């Protein structure tokens, strides 16, 4: 039944969100010198700024850094020092420079899937950063094609299906995000294998797909992905 299988990258093939969460924690520590963290709802304010800025800056460390600076300026009433703004810039640079750390069994799982299907990598975020991570991962040779997109929604997947010359019903997406990897594909008629990651960005937890959907499998690790795909056909 399946002709093509897509794999997400961040938090599916390698660690990503834990580095963003560490930057968020340091962001709050920096702002703690200016305001009462218990009363300022720093996390919620930053999330609201990131949500608002996605359409301007896109996803990734650069957009996060700009959103942190904007939030810090607003919450401190423009009192934050240039030195602390420089520290916020450094947080973003640390994420961009962080080495790629593959999740357990990644190469083996993708290679096993590739024995039965064509496989493609579909990831979103900053172009330069995603290209660098793909290079560092050592996994590029496993994929028939690598797509770096600005958003992973139904129109994006529909465009990719057209470019791949494939019907959605013959495609499955493997990823950690129900919102970006699974729901759009299933809504178009495809299949999804959800591989939850221990930490998920709040915006990626927002989705409307009902639990137990017949075209969605949930597995605990990438090693279980090949069997889940075989169950689809």
Look at residues 45, 64, 97 and tell me which one is the last residue of a structural domain.
97
- Token look-up 């938090």 returns 11
Report the C-alpha gap between 216 and 181 in whole angstroms: 11
> For residue 64, what are the β-bridge partners?
none
Domain extent for 147: 4-14+101-232
Helices (H), 115-166: 127-137, 154-164
Q: Residue 45's pLDDT is what?
A: 93
Number of domains in the chain: 2
- pLDDT tens string 119-172: 999 999 999 999 999 999 999 999 999 999 999 999 999 999 999 999 999 999
Edge-to-edge order in the sheet of strand 216-218: 145-149, 118-124, 4-7, 171-175, 191-194, 216-218
* Domain at 52, CATH number: 1.10.150.240
Report the C-alpha gap between 8 and 179 in whole angstroms: 12
Report the C-alpha gap between 72 and 86 in whole angstroms: 12
Q: Where are the beta strands (DSSP E) in 4-93?
A: 4-7
* Domain match, 10 and 60 both: no
Report the C-alpha gap between 156 and 167 in whole angstroms: 14
Look at residues 66, 97, 128 and tell me which one is the last residue of a structural domain.
97
Q: Residue 130's pLDDT is what?
A: 96
> For residue 120, what are the β-bridge partners?
6, 145
* Domain match, 10 and 50 both: no
- pLDDT tens string 4-42: 999 999 999 999 999 999 999 999 999 999 998 877 789
């Amino acid at each position: 039944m399946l002709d093509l299988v897509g794999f997400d990258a961040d938090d599916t093939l390698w660690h990503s969100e834990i580095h963003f969460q560490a930057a968020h924690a340091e962001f709050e520590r920096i702002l703690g010198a200016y305001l009462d963290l218990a009363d300022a709802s720093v996390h919620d304010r930053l999330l609201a700024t990131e949500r608002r800025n996605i359409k301007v800056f896109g996803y990734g460390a650069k957009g996060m850094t700009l959103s942190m600076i904007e939030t810090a300026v607003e919450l401190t009433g423009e009192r934050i020092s240039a030195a602390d703004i420089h520290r916020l810039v450094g947080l973003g640079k640390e994420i961009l420079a962080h080495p790629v750390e593959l999740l357990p069994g990644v190469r083996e799982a993708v290679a096993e899937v590739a024995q039965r299907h064509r496989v493609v990598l579909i990831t979103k975020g900053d172009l330069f950063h995603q290209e660098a991570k793909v290079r560092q991962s050592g996994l590029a040779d496993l994929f028939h094609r690598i797509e770096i997109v600005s958003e992973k929604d139904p129109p994006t997947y529909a465009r990719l299906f057209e470019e791949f010359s494939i019907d959605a019903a013959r495609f499955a997406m493997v990823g950690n995000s129900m919102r970006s990897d699974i729901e759009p594909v299933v809504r178009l008629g495809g299949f999804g294998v959800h591989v939850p990651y221990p930490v998920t960005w709040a915006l990626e937890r927002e989705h409307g797909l009902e639990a137990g959907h017949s075209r969605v499998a949930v597995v605990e690790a990438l090693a279980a992905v090949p069997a889940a795909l075989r169950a689809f056909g």
